[in-house]
């Protein structure tokens, strides 16, 4: 006796409903309802259930239940999985090689070469000795407490992922800035990538790739971190002074001349802001990605949670914060130099 | 400039029956316009903006054509049709008799690179390039290397008064200097036609006067075909060989500036000119009696291109005098001071003009 019996009786569908009554196991909710006695169903208007799939299924077993929907999604995904894999596997294989290569290089370069090299990069990007001092202190501290290797693994992953984000993100952003249709189509995808909880990326990826492959976490990080660089490239190019673009057209620049000679240089501050955000988001994701075997500081954090080793988790967390501050300050300093060097004076 | 036009001038650029309608379906709206629908009605009933309506202008080789109108009159839209930064809805644009609108992308690019250069109201310099690189922009776009254009660019920078500033960035210069770079950039492209879109409107009055003088000086030397957009009547009268007055996307009057000043044919223009200093703008040739033969006692000789202001200064304000007007040693007319004074009386603001309505 279910609430919506009358609909199917009224429509004369009773026979159809009962014809192939599903013998699927009861859902948890049903079990609970049974346990509670299930008395007085459908007596009070205040307890009228929403005509959802489950409620209708009670009245007419021929109608699917909600869990059939999730099951359908799952089987659907599993059905296309193999063919999807044939396409995706070779395309993404280079990502695995990059990550393995970077991890190997970062870990096997002796610390007494690696640390000065990093400091040199920092100096080249920021031209600030103060910042170099801070970075040196942070890295030496991490090395001193034996977190150097983990930190290098994390850095290697971010290095590869952020680089690929820029490599793909900037052209996508340029395409968006050129075509309103492209922008309209891309923005919902970006919104989805940005709001989908990071863990959710991992679920289908685990089915697609083996957990031992680096590209599994590489893809998760790239999908999550690529959004800001795309958005800000698009925005930056669209914000370039209309009159300057007009001048470029009036003097007969080709599209390519305009792109490389005017649009990208003038959008550079925005693009760099996007790169900064992308690096920060890769760092955020690299910790979550340790759930699917991404090496680095995230593994320690995970160990801290799993084994309730408070100190291990906290120290590793501190290491991540230090890395974040380093990456942020260095990219911001580079951004500030770009600003000062070129396009800041459009308001003159 | 402003001298009697030599006979061998020819039409360099010509606009024929040009229409521009903004909106989702300009072609349909154009039919309405041909059927006599006006600008306000087209907007209210059909949702289209009539930008330009039946424009016909001939621009002579080596002259400055000034297109003047208030904001919203379509003057900036019009100048952008000449190098097709905006595509017209209907009409023709002829460059040396060839229809520019038939050009494909490659021909159009060649035209923009070699035939026309443009100067912008807000300068539109590339902020990340030096002044020298900005000046050589047109040449760099054509594929020339810096070494190729450097000498030329430096020469033009010198010519506009920016010698030695080539290594600066645009933001390090004042507005007037930036516009000099804009002009040098247009000149360095070596194109016969220069489009100037409110080029001096963003500058202070004093610098603006400087720049106008610079333009006239350069023009006397280079004889380019200049199309100049302005909303300032004094500027228009000062620069124009040929003046086109736009209102609501239509040409209300065009011709020699002196002619328009003395015989305005529209209340809108009367309103416009009622405020200006006529003595400074009008010239002897516009008010003299031509081919007069009287031998009467002349107080002196004046040139037909002298302004009335200068004649008044010479005469010391005495209205009883008359002057012999001489061009190249030949008498071309007689100037009676009484005619001169009469010409100074402004046409009063028209009764049905905009000001009368505003009161």
Q: What is the secondary structure of A192-223 as a DSSP string?
A: HHHHS-HHHHHHHHHHHS-TT-HHHHHHHHHH
Query: Using one digit for the tens of pLDDT, what is the confidence trace for A291-335?
Result: 888 899 999 999 999 999 999 999 999 999 999 999 999 988 988
Domain count within chain A: 2
Q: Does A264 lie at the interface with B, CB-CB under 8 angstroms?
A: no
Yes or no, beta carbons of A266 and B128 under 8 Å apart: yes
Residues A159 and A222 in one domain: yes
Distance CA A173, CA B29 (A): 36
User: How far apart are the two ends of chain A, measured CA to CA in Å?
Assistant: 78
Specify the DSSP class assigned to residue A296.
S
Instruction: Point out the residue among B113, B171, B175 whose CB comes nearest to the CB of A251.
Output: B113
Specify the DSSP class assigned to residue A145.
T
Query: Using one digit for the tens of pLDDT, what is the confidence trace for B228-281?
Result: 999 988 888 889 999 999 988 889 999 988 888 888 888 888 888 887 888 888
Q: What is the CATH number of the domain that holds A233?
A: 1.10.3720.10
CA angle in degrees (0–180, nearest 5) for B198-B204-B210: 80
pLDDT confidence tier of residue A344, bands split at 50, 70 and 90: very low
Q: How far is A346 from chain B (nearest CA, A)?
A: 7
Yes or no, beta carbons of B141 and A346 under 8 Å apart: no
Yes or no, beta carbons of B127 and A262 under 8 Å apart: no
State both tokens at A318: 């501190």
pLDDT of the residue at A135: 94
The residue among A20, A43, A64 that closes a domain is A64
pLDDT > 70? residue B7: no
Distance CA B272, CA B250 (A): 16
Residues A269 and A128 in one domain: yes
State both tokens at B329: 């040693």
Q: In this structure, are residues B127 and B170 in contact, taking their beta carbons and an 8 Å threshold?
A: yes
pLDDT of the residue at B8: 56
Query: Using one digit for the tens of pLDDT, what is the confidence trace for B59-99?
Result: 999 999 999 988 888 888 999 999 899 999 999 999 988 89
Is residue B263 left, alpha or beta, with left meaning phi > 0 and alpha meaning psi from -120 to 50?
beta
Average pLDDT (B321-348) is 81
Distance CA A4, CA A163 (A): 57
Q: Does A251 lie at the interface with B, CB-CB under 8 angstroms?
A: yes
What pTM was estimated for this model as a whole?
0.80
Distance CA B338, CA A129 (A): 81
Is residue A44 left, alpha or beta, with left meaning phi > 0 and alpha meaning psi from -120 to 50?
beta
What is chain A's Cα-based Rg? 28
Residue B325 phi/psi, 5-degree rounding, is -95, 120
Q: How far is B27 from chain A (nearest CA, A)?
A: 23
Average pLDDT (A176-191) is 94
Q: How far is B157 from chain A (nearest CA, A)?
A: 18
Q: A246 to chain B: which residues are within 8 Å by CB? A: 80, 85, 118, 120, 124
Q: Does A187 lie at the interface with B, CB-CB under 8 angstroms?
A: no
Q: B125 to chain A: which residues are within 8 Å by CB? A: 244, 247
Residues A255 and A333 in one domain: yes
Q: How many C-beta atoms lie closer than 10 Å to residue A18's C-beta?
A: 12
Residues A60 and A144 in one domain: no
Number of alpha carbons in the 13 Å side-chain half-sphere of residue A227: 19
Yes or no, beta carbons of B126 and A253 under 8 Å apart: no
Q: Does A260 lie at the interface with B, CB-CB under 8 angstroms?
A: no
Residues A117 and A138 in one domain: yes
Give the chain A residue nearest B127 (alpha carbons): A343
Q: How far is B146 from chain A (nearest CA, A)?
A: 14
Q: How far is A174 from chain B (nearest CA, A)?
A: 20
- Domain B278-344, CATH: 3.90.1280.20
Distance CA A272, CA A229 (A): 8
Chain A and chain B share a number of CB contacts under 8 A equal to: 72
Q: A269 to chain B: which residues are within 8 Å by CB? A: none
pLDDT of the residue at A141: 93
Q: Does B127 lie at the interface with A, CB-CB under 8 angstroms?
A: yes
Q: In this structure, are residues A172 and A230 in contact, taking their beta carbons and an 8 Å threshold?
A: yes
Residues A46 and A177 in one domain: no
- Within 78-97 of B, beta carbons closer than 8 Å to A belong to 80, 83, 85
Computed from CA positions of residues A86, A88, A91, A97, in that sequence, does the dihedral angle turn out positive or negative? negative
Q: Say if strands B225-230 and B64-68 run parallel, antiparallel, or are unpaired.
A: parallel
Mean pLDDT of chain A: 87
Residues A44 and A85 in one domain: no
- Residue from A251, A253, A264 whose CB has the most chain B CBs within 10 Å, to mutate: A251
Helix (H, G, I), strand (E, B) or coil at A338: helix
Q: In this structure, are residues B305 and B284 in contact, taking their beta carbons and an 8 Å threshold?
A: yes
Yes or no, beta carbons of B118 and A266 under 8 Å apart: no
3 state SS for chain B: CCCCCCCCCCEEEEEEEEEEEECCCHHHHHHHHHCCCCHHHHHHHHCCEEEEEEEEEEEECCCEEEEECCCCCCHHHHHHHHCCCCCCCEEEEEECCEEHHHCCHHHHHHHHHHCEEEECCCCCCCCCCCHHHHHCHHHHHCCCCHHHHHHHHHHHHHHCCCCCCCCCCHHHCCHHHHHHHHHHHHHHCCCCEEEEECCCCCCCHHHHHHHHHHHHHHHHHHCCEEEEEECCHHHHHHHCCEEEEEECCEEEEEECHHHHHHCCCCHHHHHHHCCCCHHHHCEHHHHCEECCCCCCCCCCEECCCCEHHHHHHHHCCCCCCEEEEEECCEEEEEEEHHHHHHHHCCCCCCCCCHHHHHC
Specify the DSSP class assigned to residue A259.
I
Computed from CA positions of residues A198, A203, A205, A206, in that sequence, does the dihedral angle turn out positive or negative? positive
Q: Which of B244, B266, B269 is nearest to B255 (CA)?
A: B244
Q: Does B356 lie at the interface with A, CB-CB under 8 angstroms?
A: no
Q: Does A91 lie at the interface with B, CB-CB under 8 angstroms?
A: no
pLDDT of the residue at B322: 84
Instruction: Point out the residue among B112, B169, B175 whose CB comes nearest to the CB of A250.
Output: B112
Residues A262 and A324 in one domain: yes
Yes or no, beta carbons of B124 and A343 under 8 Å apart: no
pLDDT of the residue at B5: 44
Mean pLDDT of chain B: 85
Query: Using one digit for the tens of pLDDT, what is the confidence trace for A229-263?
Result: 999 999 999 999 999 999 999 999 999 999 999 99
Query: Using one digit for the tens of pLDDT, what is the confidence trace for B294-319?
Result: 667 788 888 888 888 888 888 887 88
Residues A159 and A31 in one domain: no
State both tokens at B178: 């930036």
Task: Supply the range of the domain harboring residue A284.
Answer: 73-347
Q: In this structure, are residues B199 and B149 in contact, taking their beta carbons and an 8 Å threshold?
A: no
Instruction: Point out the residue among B138, B169, B171 whose CB comes nearest to the CB of A251.
Output: B138
Yes or no, beta carbons of A247 and B120 under 8 Å apart: yes
Yes or no, beta carbons of A252 and B171 under 8 Å apart: no
Residues A138 and A249 in one domain: yes
pLDDT of the residue at A34: 64
Q: Which of A299, A156, A288 is nearest to A223 (CA)?
A: A288
Interacting residues of B229 by C-beta distance below 8 A, sequence separation 6+: B66, B67, B68, B75, B76, B78, B79, B196, B197, B198, B199
Instruction: Point out the residue among B118, B123, B127 whose CB comes nearest to the CB of A342.
Output: B127
Q: B127 to chain A: which residues are within 8 Å by CB? A: 244, 266, 342-343, 345-346, 348
Yes or no, beta carbons of B170 and A345 under 8 Å apart: yes
Q: How far is B109 from chain A (nearest CA, A)?
A: 5
pLDDT > 60? residue A201: yes
- Residue from A236, A239, A247 whose CB has the most chain B CBs within 10 Å, to mutate: A247
């Amino acid at each position: 006796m279910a609430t919506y019996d009358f609909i199917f009786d009224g429509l004369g569908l009773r026979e159809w409903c009962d014809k192939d009554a599903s013998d699927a196991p009861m859902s948890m909710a049903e079990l609970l309802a049974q346990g509670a006695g299930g008395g007085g169903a459908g007596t009070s208007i205040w307890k009228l259930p929403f005509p959802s799939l489950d409620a209708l299924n009670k009245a007419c077993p021929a109608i699917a239940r909600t869990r059939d929907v999730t099951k359908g999604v799952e089987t659907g995904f599993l059905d296309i999985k193999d063919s999807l894999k044939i396409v995706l596997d070779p395309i993404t294989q280079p990502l695995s090689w990059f990550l393995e290569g970077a991890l190997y290089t970062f870990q096997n370069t002796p610390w007494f070469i690696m640390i000065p090299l990093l400091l040199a990069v920092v100096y080249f990007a920021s031209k600030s000795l103060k910042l170099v001092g801070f970075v040196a202190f942070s890295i030496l501290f991490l090395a001193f407490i034996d977190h150097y290797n983990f930190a290098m693994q994390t850095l290697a992953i971010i290095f590869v992922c952020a680089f690929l984000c820029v490599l793909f993100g900037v052209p996508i952003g340029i395409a968006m800035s050129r075509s309103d249709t492209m922008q309209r189509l891309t923005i919902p995808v970006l919104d989805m990538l940005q709001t989908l909880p990071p863990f959710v990326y991992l679920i289908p990826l685990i089915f697609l790739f083996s957990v031992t492959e680096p590209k599994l976490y590489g893809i998760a990080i790239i999908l999550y971190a690529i959004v800001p660089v795309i958005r800000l490239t698009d925005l930056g190019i669209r914000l370039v002074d209309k009159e300057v673009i007009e001048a470029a057209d009036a003097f007969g620049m080709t599209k390519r001349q305009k792109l490389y000679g005017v649009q990208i240089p003038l959008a550079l501050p925005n693009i760099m802001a996007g790169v900064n955000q992308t690096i920060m988001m890769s760092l955020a994701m690299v910790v979550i990605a340790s759930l699917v075997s991404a090496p680095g500081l995230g593994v320690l954090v995970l160990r801290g949670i799993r084994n309730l080793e408070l100190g291990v988790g906290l120290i590793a967390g501190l290491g991540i914060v230090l890395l974040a501050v380093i990456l942020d300050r260095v990219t911001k300093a580079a951004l500030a130099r770009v600003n000062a060097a070129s396009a800041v004076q459009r308001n003159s | 400039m402003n001298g009697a036009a030599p006979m061998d001038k020819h039409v360099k650029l010509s606009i024929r029956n040009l229409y521009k309608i903004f909106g989702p379906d300009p072609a349909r709206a154009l039919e309405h316009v041909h059927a006599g629908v006006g600008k306000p009605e087209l907007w209210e009933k059909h949702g289209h903006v009539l930008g330009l309506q039946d424009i016909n202008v001939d621009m002579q080789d080596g002259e400055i054509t000034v297109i003047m109108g208030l904001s919203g009159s379509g003057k900036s839209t019009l100048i952008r049709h000449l190098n097709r930064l905006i595509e017209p809805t209907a009409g023709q644009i002829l460059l040396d008799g060839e229809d520019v609108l038939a050009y494909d992308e490659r021909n159009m690019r060649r035209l923009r690179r070699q035939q026309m250069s443009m100067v912008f109201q807000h300068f539109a310099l590339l902020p990340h390039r030096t002044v020298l690189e900005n000046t050589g922009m047109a040449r760099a776009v054509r594929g020339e290397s810096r070494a190729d254009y450097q000498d030329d660019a430096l020469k033009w920078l010198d010519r506009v008064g920016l010698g030695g500033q080539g290594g600066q960035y645009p933001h390090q210069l004042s507005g007037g200097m930036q516009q000099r770079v804009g002009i040098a950039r247009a000149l360095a492209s070596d194109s016969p036609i220069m489009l100037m879109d409110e080029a001096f409107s963003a500058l202070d009055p004093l610098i603006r006067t400087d720049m106008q003088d610079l333009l006239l000086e350069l023009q006397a030397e280079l004889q380019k075909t200049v199309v100049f957009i302005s909303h300032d009547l004094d500027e228009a009268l000062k620069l124009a060989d040929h003046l086109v007055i736009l209102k609501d996307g239509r040409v209300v009057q065009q011709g020699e500036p002196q002619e328009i000043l003395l015989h305005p044919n529209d209340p809108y223009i009367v309103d416009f000119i009622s405020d200006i200093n006529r003595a400074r703008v009008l010239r002897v040739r516009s008010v003299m009696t031509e081919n007069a033969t009287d031998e009467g006692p002349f107080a002196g000789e004046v040139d037909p291109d002298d302004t009335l202001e200068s004649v008044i200064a010479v005469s010391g304000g005495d209205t009883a005098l008359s002057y012999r007007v001489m061009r190249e040693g030949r008498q071309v007319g007689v100037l009676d001071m009484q005619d001169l004074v009469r010409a100074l009386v402004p046409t009063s603001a028209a009764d049905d003009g905009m000001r009368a309505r505003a009161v």
